[in-house]
Structure 1
Amino acid sequence: MRKTHRPLTTAALALSLFMAALEMTVVSTAMPTVVSDLGGIEHYAWVFTAYMLASTVTVPIFGKLTDLYGRKPIILFGITLFLAGSVASGLSPSMQWLIVFRTVQGLGAGAIQPTTLTIIGDLYSLEERGRVQGLFSAVWAVSGLVGPLAGGLIVRWLSWHWIFYINVPVGLGTMVLLFIFFHEHIEKQKRPLDIVGAVLLSLGVVALLLGAQGHDNRLVPLVVAAVLLGAFVLVERKVKEPIMPPSVLVRPTIAIASVTSALFSAAMFGASTYVPLFVQGVLGGTATQAGAMLTPMLVAWPVCALICGRVMVKVGFRPLIMGGLGLSALSTVVLALVLRPGAPLLLPELAMGLFGAGLGFAATALLIAVQTSVGWEMRGVATASNMFFRTIGGALGVGAMGGVLVERLTADPRIPVSAANELLGPEHGRGLGEEVLRQLSGSLADGLATNFWIMAAMSVLAFAFSFFFPRVKTGAKAEAGEAAMH
C-alpha cells in the first residue's frame, strides 16, 4: 500500500479550506450588487441560508460515510459537487436560480468541511494537531485579506458572475493533489447506512428553518420539525449504524461543544451576512468597503487559533473556550451599540477583530476537544456533529434575522420591496423620491439594528454555556486515552 505524502496532502486540504473561506468573503462582498442586478431583496437571506441548509443536513451524513468508506472518496465527491454548484451559480439568470445553485454548492460543502478536518485529525497527533489547526486557520486570514478586495475588483471590472468562477482552478488543483498523494487503508465491510435517519433529519431541519424565517404560518413548520426530529431521535437509538449516534452526542464534551458552537455560529454567520449589508445599504459604502468589514474578523481568527494551538496542551481546553467566548460576547454587544446610521467604520472594525479573536481561541479548542474525545472509528461522526451544529446554528440564525429584515422592509405597503433593490445599487437609491428613500433607509437600519442585538444575545448565551464545559485532559494523558480507543 502506498503511503500518504503528508506535506502535500496537508497542502491540498489547506486549498480546500481556502476555497470555502474565499467563497464566503467574496459572496458577502458582492451580494448587495447581485441584488441590485437580479432584484429580490426579499430573498436575500436565502442565498446564504440555502447554502448553509444544504451543508447542514448533509454534514452528518457525509461524516458517517467517511467512517464507513474512507475519507478520500467523500472529499473528492464533495469538491466535484461544490465546483458544479459554483459554475452554475455564476450562470444564474435570477435570484431564484442563484438560490437553487447555492444549494448545490452547499451540498458539496457538506462533504468538504468535516472531511477536511477529520483527515487533519487522522494525520496528526494531539500536540501536532493543535499547531496544524492553527496553521490551517491562517488560510482564513489570507482569504480575509484577498476576498473583499477580489470581490470588489471583480464586481467593478468584470461582473458579479465571476465571483463564483474563481473557485474552479483552486478546486481542480485540490483534487489533483488529493488523488495522487493521499492514501488510506479501509477495511471494506458491509455496513448499512441509516437512510431513514438521514431523511428524517433532512426534512426536520428544513421545516425548522422555514419556521425560523418568521412567516405568519411559522407554527406549522415548527410543529412538523418537532415531530420529524423527535422521530429522528427514536430511530437513531434503534438502528445499528446511526448517522449521529446518541451515545456520542450525550458525552459532556460533545454536548456542550454542540450547543456553544450552534450559538456562536448564529452570531458569526449573522455578522458575515448583515454587516456588509449595513455598510453598503445604510452607510452608503462601496462593495469593497462592505467586504472589508469582515477582514478584521477573518484575520484575527487564525492568528488567535495559531496561538491557541501552541498553548492548548499546557493550559487546557476550558480556559481558552471560556475566554474566547467571553471576548466574542463583549465584541458583539459593542457592535450592536455602535452600528448606527452615520457611524464611523473604525470602531465596528475593531469590534469585528475582537470577535474573530475570541472565536479563534474558542472554536479551535472546541473542535480539537471533540476530536480527542473519540477514537478513529468515530472521529468522522464526532467532527461532523460539531460542524453540523455550527452550520445549523448559522442557518437558523441567518434565516431568523432575514425574517426580521423582510418584515421591516415590507411594513409599509405603499413602498414596494423592489425599491430596496435600488437602494443597494451603485447609485444608492438616488433615483427614488426623498421620502421613499428616507423611510426605506430607516426600515433597513431598524431591521439590521435588531439583528445585531440578536447576534449579541447568541454570543452571550454561548459564553454562559461555556461555564459547563468539562475539564478535559490534554498532553500525554489524552494521547494515551485516545490511543486506547483505537
Structure 2
Amino acid sequence: MSDAAPGLFNPAYRARTLALAAAFVVIAFAALALNTVMPIAVQELGGLGLYAFAFGGFLTTSIVGTVLAGGIADRGGPAAPLYTGLACFAGGALLSGSSSAMWSFLLGRYLQGLGGGAVTVSLYVVMGHGYPAALRPRMFSLATACWIVPSMMGPPIAGAVTVWLSWHWVFYGIGLLDVVVSVLLIKPLIQLRRAGAADEDVLEGQSAGEAPFGEGASLRIFPAVAVAIGAGLLQYAGAKGAPHQPIAAVAGLLLLASCLRHLVPAGTLRARRGIPSLVVLRGAAAAAYFTIETYIPLMLINERHWSAGAAGMSLTGAALTWFVGSWLQGRPRLPWPRERVVLIGALIHGAGAAIALTGALRGAHAVTLAVGLAVAGFGMGILLPGVGILTLEYSPVNHQGRNSASLQLSDSLSSVLLLTLAGTLFNSAHVRAGADNMAFATVFGAALVAAASAGVIARRITPPHPKGLGVGKHGSRPLT
C-alpha cells in the first residue's frame, strides 16, 4: 500500500478504529484505576496477606482466557471470544465491587483475568483481520497512545471516587464502561464478519494435512488450565511463610513442563527462528519490564523517601516514553527492516534495565531509577508493537488468533514467573524499609538478565524460510 492509501480514520476504517481505541482506553483505565484502589480494597476486606494473589491470580486466569480465545477466534472469528471476554471482565468487576469478603473479591479478580485474556487476544485478531499490513503499525501505535490519558487520569480519578464514594464504585464504573465498549463494537464486528465471509477461499488453500486450529481447540482446555494451576502453585510457593512450599513448587514446575509445550508453537522452548523466537522475546521483555515497573515505585518510597504521588510519576513518565517509541516505530518508511527495529528496541530496553540496577546502588541519585524505567519504556514502545506486527505478518490468516494467543500467554506466564522469583529474592535479602538497597538490586539484577536474554533472542526472529511462514514443515505447526 502506498503512502497515499486510506488512513486509520478514513470512512472505510473509522468506526472500527474508534471502537478499538475505546476498548484499549477502557483496558488501560481499568488496569491503572483498579491497581490504584487495590490496596484500599484488600485492607478493608481484611485480606492484606492475599494482596499478591489479587494481581498474580488475574494474570494466571488470563492464561486460560488467552488460549481459549485464540482457538475460537481462528475457528469462527473474534466476535464471540471478544464479547464473552468483555462479559467476564464486566461480571468480575461487578463481583469484586460488590464484595464484602476477600474470597468473593478474589473470585471476581480471577473472572476479570479470564475475560481480560480473551479480550486482548481478540482485539489482536481484529487488528490482523481488519486492517491491511501497511496500516497495522499505525494501529499498534494508536493502541499504545490509548494508554496515555488513562496513565495520567486513571489514578487520580480512582482516588477521588474512593474518597467521595468508595472503592466499590471504581469497580462498578469499569463494568459500566465495558458495556459501552460492547455496544460500540457491534457494527465494526459485523462489517469484519462480512469481509471475512468473502475471503473464505483463503482458508481453503491451506496446506494439505494441516487441520484448522479450531478443530483442536477443545483439546487445549486441559493444558491451559494445567499451566494456569502450575503458575498459581509457583506463586504460592514464592509466598513468604506459606506451608508446603517445596511440594507446591515441584508440582507447579511439573505441570508447566508437561503442558506448556501444547500451548505454544513448536520450537518455542528452543527459541527456534521465526514465530517461536517472537513468542519467547515477548515473554522475556515483558517480564523484565513489568518487574522493574512493579518495584521502582516501592523503592522510591521506601528507600529514597519520595511521596506516593512523586513515585507514581515515574510510571507516567514511562508511559509517555513508551508512546514515543511506539509512535516512532509506526512511522511509514522506516530506515531499517522491521526485524532490526525490534532488535534496537530490545537493546534500548536492556539499557533501561541496566540503568535501573545502577539506580538501586547506594549513593546513586533517586532520579536514576525513574530514568531507567523511562528508557526501558521507550525500548518496549519500539519492541512490543513490532513483535505483534511481525507475528501477524508471519502467520496465515487462520493462525493469527493462536499465534497472538501464544504471545499473550508468554507475556502473562513469564511475568508471573519473574515476579515470583523477584519476590523470593527480595524477601531473602530484605532487612527493613530504608536499608533494602541490596534487596532491590537483586530484583533489578534478575530483570536485567531477562532483558539481556531478550536482546539475544531478538537476533533470531527472522524466519529461515520466509515463504512458508507459520505453515508446514518449516513454520509453526498447529498447536495440539
* TM-score between the two structures when normalised by the length of structure 1: 0.80
1:80 is matched with 87
Question: 1:157-172 alignment to 2 at 5 Å?
Answer: 157-172=164-179
User: 2 CA distance for matches of 1:226 and 1:32?
Assistant: 30
Q: Does 1:302 align with 2:294?
A: no
1:401 is matched with 422
Q: Does 1:144 align with 2:136?
A: no
Return the match for 2:225 from 202, 207, 212.
202
The root-mean-square deviation of aligned C-alpha atoms, in Å, is: 3.4
Q: Does 1:26 align with 2:36?
A: no
Q: Deviations over 1:110-167 (max 9, x none)?
A: 1110110110111111111111211221112222222233344344444433332332
Answer yes or no: is the 8 Å Cα contact 1:297–1:357 preserved in 2. Answer: yes
User: 2 CA distance for matches of 1:38 and 1:230?
Assistant: 36
Question: 1:51-450 alignment to 2 at 5 Å?
Answer: 51-183=58-190, 184-185=193-194, 192-211=215-234, 213-214=237-238, 217-229=244-256, 231-232=258-259, 236=262, 244=264, 246=266, 252-311=273-332, 314-339=335-360, 346-406=367-427, 440-442=432-434, 447-450=439-442
Q: 1:23 to 1:448 in 2, by over 3 A?
A: farther
Range with bigger deviation, 171-180 or 158-167: 158-167
User: 1 CA distance for matches of 2:362 and 2:104?
Assistant: 33
User: 2 CA distance for matches of 1:104 and 1:405?
Assistant: 29
Cα displacement (A) at 1:454:
2.0
User: 2 CA distance for matches of 1:66 and 1:27?
Assistant: 28
User: 2 CA distance for matches of 1:273 and 1:252?
Assistant: 31
Q: 1:85 to 1:282 in 2, by over 3 A?
A: farther
Answer yes or no: is the 8 Å Cα contact 1:32–1:287 preserved in 2. Answer: no
Answer yes or no: is the 8 Å Cα contact 2:79–2:189 preserved in 1. Answer: yes
Cα displacement (A) at 1:353:
1.6
Aligned length: 439
User: 1 CA distance for matches of 2:265 and 2:362?
Assistant: 48
User: 1 CA distance for matches of 2:227 and 2:60?
Assistant: 11
User: 1 CA distance for matches of 2:438 and 2:267?
Assistant: 44
Cα displacement (A) at 1:15:
1.5
User: 1 CA distance for matches of 2:334 and 2:129?
Assistant: 18
User: 1 CA distance for matches of 2:187 and 2:126?
Assistant: 16
SS in 2 for 1:324: helix
Answer yes or no: is the 8 Å Cα contact 2:61–2:228 preserved in 1. Answer: no
* TM-score between the two structures when normalised by the length of structure 2: 0.80
SS in 1 for 2:411: helix
Question: 1:461-472 alignment to 2 at 5 Å?
Answer: 461-470=453-462
User: 1 CA distance for matches of 2:300 and 2:163?
Assistant: 17
SS in 2 for 1:120: helix
Answer yes or no: is the 8 Å Cα contact 2:356–2:372 preserved in 1. Answer: yes
Q: 1:400 to 1:231 in 2, by over 3 A?
A: closer
User: 1 CA distance for matches of 2:213 and 2:139?
Assistant: 34
Residue type at the aligned position of 1:381: R
1:436 is matched with none
User: Please, which runs of 5 or more residues in structure 1 have no aligned partner?
Assistant: 237-242, 410-438, 482-486
Residue type at the aligned position of 1:99: L
Answer yes or no: is the 8 Å Cα contact 2:275–2:391 preserved in 1. Answer: yes
Return the match for 1:456 from 443, 448, 462.
448
State, as a whole percentage, how many aligned pairs show the same letter: 23
1:429 is matched with none
Q: 1:37 to 1:101 in 2, by over 3 A?
A: same
Answer yes or no: is the 8 Å Cα contact 1:327–1:358 preserved in 2. Answer: yes
Higher relative contact order by CA 8 Å / sep ≥ 6: 1 or 2?
1
Q: 1:378 to 1:190 in 2, by over 3 A?
A: closer
User: 1 CA distance for matches of 2:39 and 2:365?
Assistant: 20
Cα displacement (A) at 1:174:
0.9
Q: 1:27 to 1:229 in 2, by over 3 A?
A: same
Q: Deviations over 1:196-217 (max 9, x none)?
A: 4321232134224423543675
User: 2 CA distance for matches of 1:169 and 1:12?
Assistant: 16
Cα displacement (A) at 1:55:
0.7
SS in 2 for 1:294: helix
Cα displacement (A) at 1:343:
7.3
User: 1 CA distance for matches of 2:351 and 2:213?
Assistant: 50
